[in-house]
Amino acid sequence: MANQDLLVYRDKIDAIDEQILALLSSRAACAKAIGHIKQNQTVAMPFYRPEREKAVLERLMDMNPGPLPDKEIRRLFREVMSACLALEMPMDIAYLGPEGTYTQAAVLKQFGHSVNTVPLRTIPDVFKAVQSENAHFGIVPSENSTEGVVTHTLDMLLQSDLRICGEILLRIQHNLLSNAESLSAVKAVYAHEQALAQCRNWLNRYIPHADLRPVSSNGKAAEIAATEANAAAIAGQMASDFYGLSILAAGIEDETNNTTRFLVIGNQQLTPTGDDKTSLVVSANNHPGLLHQLLEPIARYKVNMTRLESRPARQAIWEYVFFIDLEGHEHDEKTASLLAEIKRTASFFKVLGSYPVGTVF
Amino acid sequence: MANQDLLVYRDKIDAIDEQILALLSSRAACAKAIGHIKQNQTVAMPFYRPEREKAVLERLMDMNPGPLPDKEIRRLFREVMSACLALEMPMDIAYLGPEGTYTQAAVLKQFGHSVNTVPLRTIPDVFKAVQSENAHFGIVPSENSTEGVVTHTLDMLLQSDLRICGEILLRIQHNLLSNAESLSAVKAVYAHEQALAQCRNWLNRYIPHADLRPVSSNGKAAEIAATEANAAAIAGQMASDFYGLSILAAGIEDETNNTTRFLVIGNQQLTPTGDDKTSLVVSANNHPGLLHQLLEPIARYKVNMTRLESRPARQAIWEYVFFIDLEGHEHDEKTASLLAEIKRTASFFKVLGSYPVGTVF
């Protein structure tokens, strides 16, 4: 009886798969046709349009009736678009390696699996690969919500002519894993340096007596904690099963919304999606009230500033440069006139890019 | 005009995506229903059925009208099945780590991305994780077509009660990258040990004068070759662009069909698909003609033997054990009676598993 029911569902699935196959093939044929049109233009047209992809994905998630979670719908259509885009134009994506890191996860989240990915050793190498057109886009870490910015990336953005073509947000959760009987018995905590930093408040509060020991990865940390008495590791939940470690405490990161942000860098100007960010860098000869003067138009226009970073300038003439992220697209009317005002007061002004706001999953 | 055409195709794609979304949701609802039926059985029923998945994928590839290549159709439906299976039963897959290796690529090829993957440090750890039911399946390397078997995996299969539930084949290509002016100028070749072994004939023939230097990965090798005069690396084609190295020779692997094989280990008995392999291990007290005697029935039944490996036995009583792969499923009538005959002449006989033949892509 149960077997009979199973067969009915199996046949149903087979019929559905046939229909999906036919639709995927039509979709791919459309993508190919689009590719031909673009190739025959006298003015170069971009093949990869993150703003269009974002709109497609959000629409489908809005329409999703279940039972597949939105996250899976996003992932599956990401892969469908990736496969179709590869027919239009095979893409090479450079990223800060090595493989198996969060940066690689960010690449796959953004581009799907039908791209060539190339791990490079340094952030400047990634910029160089895109600049020299050895890669269509590059992915570099930008900041995480507790540890702040990756200054190397800011420096490269300042020097380079490349633009920010997108941001990718990844959520990260940490647990304290150990075979120690209780928190008070924990003598040492092993973890990647960044994970230690992301849990600093919690560690100071609950196990101030423990020695904090940075190692090359959280996986490595779990391995050590599995063999060393009274040692603990900060790692994901799964490591607990596999290294036979108990979860002494879950979700110990200081910011519960601990995300890491990555930037997509490229040569492309994107059109507005209605939900965009603009990154810019400004400076002026230093004088008291300079920052206030630079920021005043932003307040007056009632535009949300999502980030402000100051960096000592390398060129002697400015003492500081400011990296600012604003909501809005440089081609939006309001944002455009705000940017024009900021530009008037600044001695240095550069838009790094306008791009769709990233989604956390 | 071109823009008009683009909009038409874009609308068409949007309409197609809506239909795909509706179908994916119905498919997922079927998968959930199947999950309920299976959970309500008194006899445990497997949630993951590699033989069924193989049949589904092959049928769809056969039906594929293009323009998406079969490989992409396979990948997309693999992900669809992965997402649907996660609704039936979230799967944990243990594999020989670290992340970013071919073994991880094999996991994703076989199971898609909607599974929890757990990199472990040793092959016995992977077996232990599956045995203790911390993981549903484990993935271990088995052999590659030029370097032969991974003996550790054979030893574990011999000791363990786990069964082989599948094989995964990955294709690998090597190139010689260098800034040297010609092959004769190359003084040293850097590569992962396995890559050196896989290109040994070619290296002996074309650059017998070069010093072969194993390093931790082919990526590392390319990095070294980019800075050291007259050094070369064995690596994939993309590394040449990114490390600024020329391809002195492409496809230098000795076997052009250089594949690496991985095994899926688990607790499950699979049903026949019509295109299966059976792995077994046999032994007997040593005497002249033993091997011939063991193999004679295979020849008589005209069954294809795809592999034969002998290993010294640990137990003193047998001198050798033989690992044999045959075409056919142990529940096929012909294979079953062949196995019965082999069993009669062997003092030790164990079927390691019957599973669908893997696909090379």
In the block, residue with structure tokens 């067969």: A7
Looking at residue B161, its pLDDT comes to 92
B83/A68 Cβ within 8 A: yes
B37/A2 Cβ within 8 A: yes
Q: What are phi and psi of B96, to 5 degrees?
A: -75, 115
**Identity of residue A230:** N
Instruction: Assess contact for B200 and B184: CB atoms under 8 A.
Output: no
**B 258-297 → A contacts, CB under 8 A:** none
B21/A64 Cβ within 8 A: yes
Alpha-helical runs (H) found in chain B: 2-39, 50-63, 70-88, 102-111, 123-131, 151-159, 193-198, 200-206, 218-227, 238-242, 290-300, 333-345
Cβ-based contacts of A33 with chain B (< 8 Å): 5, 9
Q: Quick one: fold of B23-171?
A: D-Maltodextrin-Binding Protein; domain 2 (3.40.190)
**B 65-104 → A contacts, CB under 8 A:** 65-68, 72-73, 75-77, 79-80, 83-84, 86-87, 92, 94, 97-100, 104
**Identity of residue A312:** P
Instruction: Assess contact for A277 and A223: CB atoms under 8 A.
Output: no
**A 186-205 → B contacts, CB under 8 A:** none
Cβ-based contacts of A86 with chain B (< 8 Å): 72
Looking at residue A286, its pLDDT comes to 66
For B190, the token pair is 């850097």
Partner residue opposite B119 with nearest CB, options A40, A114, A219? A219
Looking at residue B116, its pLDDT comes to 84
Distances (CA, A) of A194 to A210, A212, A220, A225: 17, 12, 14, 18
Looking at residue A356, its pLDDT comes to 92
Question: Could you give the CA distance from residue B262 to residue A236 in angstroms, rounded to a whole number?
Answer: 26
A238/B32 Cβ within 8 A: no
Partner residue opposite B242 with nearest CB, options A22, A29, A118? A118
Question: Could you give the CA distance from residue A70 to residue B28 in angstroms, rounded to a whole number?
Answer: 13
Secondary-structure class of domain A269-356 per CATH: alpha beta
Cβ-based contacts of B121 with chain A (< 8 Å): 223
For chain A, give every residue range classified as CATH 3.40.190.10. 17-169, 175-250
Q: Distance between terminal CA atoms of chain A?
A: 40
> Residue B350, Cβ neighbours under 10 Å: how many?
15
Q: Which CATH superfamily is domain A17-169 in?
A: Periplasmic binding protein-like II (3.40.190.10)
A68/B34 Cβ within 8 A: no
Residue of A nearest to B10 (CA): A30
- B255/chain A closest Cα distance in angstroms: 24
Nearest to A341 by CA among A276, A303, A280, A294: A294
Please count the residue pairs, one from chain A and one from chain B, whose beta carbons lie less than 8 angstroms apart. 200
Residue B189: strand pairing partners: B212, B232
Q: What are phi and psi of B123, to 5 degrees?
A: -65, -45
Cβ-based contacts of A111 with chain B (< 8 Å): none
Looking at residue A337, its pLDDT comes to 95
A86/B72 Cβ within 8 A: yes
Question: Could you give the CA distance from residue B255 to residue B173 in angstroms, rounded to a whole number?
Answer: 10
Cβ-based contacts of B32 with chain A (< 8 Å): 67
ipTM of the complex: 0.70
Looking at residue A72, its pLDDT comes to 92
Partner residue opposite B80 with nearest CB, options A56, A76, A99? A76
Instruction: Enumerate residue ranges in chain A where pLDDT < 70.
Output: 1, 97-102, 144-149, 237-239, 241-242, 256-258, 285-289, 312-319, 361
Nearest to B281 by CA among B322, B252, B334, B327: B322
**Identity of residue A18:** E
Looking at residue B360, its pLDDT comes to 75
**B 6-45 → A contacts, CB under 8 A:** 6, 9-10, 12-14, 16-34, 37-38, 40-41
For chain B, give every residue range classified as CATH 3.30.70.260. 269-356
B97/A99 Cβ within 8 A: no
Partner residue opposite B17 with nearest CB, options A9, A13, A56? A56
Partner residue opposite A76 with nearest CB, options B24, B30, B41? B24
Rg (CA), chain A: 24
Looking at residue B130, its pLDDT comes to 93
Looking at residue A146, its pLDDT comes to 45
Instruction: Enumerate residue ranges in chain B where pLDDT < 50.
Output: 145-147
Helix axes B2-39, A2-39, angle to 10 degrees: 160
Looking at residue A323, its pLDDT comes to 87
Q: Which CATH superfamily is domain B175-250 in?
A: Periplasmic binding protein-like II (3.40.190.10)
User: In which element (H, E) is residue A240 found?
Assistant: helix A238-242
B242/A94 Cβ within 8 A: yes
**B 109-138 → A contacts, CB under 8 A:** 113-114, 116, 118-121, 125, 129, 134-135
**B 214-243 → A contacts, CB under 8 A:** 219, 223, 238-239, 241-242
Partner residue opposite B18 with nearest CB, options A38, A63, A118? A63
